[in-house]
Amino acid sequence: MQRLQASTCNRSVDARIPCGMEGAPDKPDRELVDAVLTNRPGAFEHMVREYQGLCWHIVQRMVRNPEDAR
C-alpha cells in the first residue's frame, strides 16, 4: 500500500483516500446503509438514486467504451 505525505493534512495518509475522508464513512451514508440492511421501505431505492450517477461514471471510466458500459 502506497503512503504519501499530504501537505494539506500534515500527516501520512493512504494515497487512495482523499484527505479528510479516512476513517468511518459520513454519518448520513452509514445511516443509509443501515437502513438498507434493515430493509427499511424505500431505503434501497434512495441509495440507488443517490449513487447511480457516480457508479455510472466509474464504469464508463473503467471500460472506456460507452457501448460496453451499457
**Residue ranges of domains in the chain:** 24-70
- Does 64 score more than 60 pLDDT? yes
Residue 23, amino acid: G
Q: Percent of the chain having pLDDT more than 70?
A: 64
- Does 61 score more than 70 pLDDT? yes
- Does 44 score more than 50 pLDDT? yes
Confidence (pLDDT) at 7: 45
Q: In terms of pTM, does the model score above 0.95? A: no
**Alpha helices (H) in 1-70, listed in sequence order:** 27-37, 43-63, 66-69
- pLDDT, tens digit, for every residue of 2-34? 444 444 444 444 454 455 545 556 788 899 999
